[in-house]
């Protein structure tokens, strides 16, 4: 190895390695290697960074940068990355599963699901005769939001059958007050949906699937109880989770299931 020890070198435009040596190294006076060009043309700075001939840069340890562009291999990223620095990252370059560490500080907006509650009902419930709105037994769900500014996503799925005509509406009870939510007054009745089947036309042999998705304002952090009420417009029988025809016949005696699902959505 040839050693050069001047305090300053200037005017050198080319360095050629001697025969049998394809490695160029630069050391400080304490003997520590600070810079190396290996036989493949890779440039190594200490033990922390390597620049390949085709322009790839590999870092070991802590990398401080004001701008990162191109594809970033997430498998090699550890520690904390300020969210404000993460901009214009193609979705295709985000690979793998994030199990922790993503918080809303910085550029992330809301939409995080904080909790999920569900009531699932697979037993039959009936409503007989002409009646005003009444509760459906066992078909309520309760959720307590963590913040008054958050949202409650309500998803209803119901299987119903009737001998005539019925209507449904959704209510919320919180802090001792009950209010209609997600309903409409576009027709003659306040409801989010209704249904008609007829014994003469054999409609009561079947069940109708009724659904509603509604995003409610939490408004406060009290327990929120959501329930569906139903009403018969005509003097008939209406059923949840079974056909109106029969519960024991071989034909037209289907069973159904219904659910109320509540999700608190962070804003």
120 and 236 inside one domain? yes
Query: Does some domain include residue 36?
Result: yes
Residue range(s) defining the domain that contains residue 68: 24-93
134 and 250 inside one domain? yes
The pTM for the full model equals 0.62
Query: Does some domain include residue 204?
Result: yes
Distance from C-alpha of 198 to C-alpha of 33, rounded to nearest angstrom: 91
Distance from C-alpha of 173 to C-alpha of 170, rounded to nearest angstrom: 10
Q: How confident is the model at residue 37 (pLDDT cuts 50, 70, 90)?
A: confident
Q: How confident is the model at residue 172 (pLDDT cuts 50, 70, 90)?
A: very high
Q: Write phi, then psi, for 244 (nearest 5 degrees).
A: -75, -15
Residue 184 is predicted with a pLDDT of 97
197 and 162 inside one domain? yes
Domains identified in the chain, total number: 2
Q: Sheet of 33-37: strands edge to edge?
A: 24-27, 33-37, 43-45, 49-51, 57-59
CATH code of the domain containing 223 = 2.60.120.1340
For residue 180, what is the enclosing H or E element? strand 177-180
Q: How confident is the model at residue 152 (pLDDT cuts 50, 70, 90)?
A: very high
| Residue closest to 204 by CA, chosen among 228, 168, 236, 233 | 236
46 and 81 inside one domain? yes
Angstrom CA distances, 200 to 91, 128, 164, stand at 57, 18, 10
Q: How confident is the model at residue 46 (pLDDT cuts 50, 70, 90)?
A: confident
Query: Does some domain include residue 8?
Result: no
Mean pLDDT of the chain, nearest integer: 84
Residue 10 is predicted with a pLDDT of 73
């Amino acid at each position: 190895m040839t050693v050069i020890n001047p305090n300053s070198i200037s005017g050198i435009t080319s360095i050629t390695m001697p025969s049998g040596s394809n490695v160029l190294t630069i050391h400080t006076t304490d003997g520590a290697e600070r810079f190396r060009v290996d036989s493949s043309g890779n440039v190594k700075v200490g033990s922390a960074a390597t620049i390949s001939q085709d322009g790839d840069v590999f870092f070991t340890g802590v990398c401080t940068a004001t701008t990162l562009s191109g594809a970033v291999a997430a498998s090699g990223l550890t520690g904390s990355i300020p969210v404000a620095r993460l901009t214009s990252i193609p979705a295709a370059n985000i690979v793998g599963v994030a199990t922790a560490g993503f918080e809303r500080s910085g550029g992330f907006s809301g939409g995080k699901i904080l909790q999920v509650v569900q009531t699932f009902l697979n037993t039959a419930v009936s409503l007989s005769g002409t009646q005003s709105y009444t509760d459906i037994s066992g078909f309520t769900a309760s959720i307590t939001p963590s913040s008054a500014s958050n949202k409650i996503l309500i998803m209803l799925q119901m299987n119903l059958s009737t001998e005539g005509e019925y209507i449904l509406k959704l209510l919320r009870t919180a802090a001792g007050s009950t209010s209609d939510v997600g309903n409409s007054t576009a027709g003659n009745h306040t409801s989010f949906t209704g249904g008609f089947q007829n014994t003469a036309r054999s409609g009561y042999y079947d069940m109708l699937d009724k659904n509603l998705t509604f995003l409610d304002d939490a408004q406060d952090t009290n327990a929120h109880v959501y329930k569906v009420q139903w009403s018969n417009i005509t003097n008939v029988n209406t059923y949840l989770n079974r056909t109106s025809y029969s519960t024991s016949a071989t034909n037209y005696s289907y069973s159904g299931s219904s659910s109320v699902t509540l999700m608190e959505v962070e804003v």
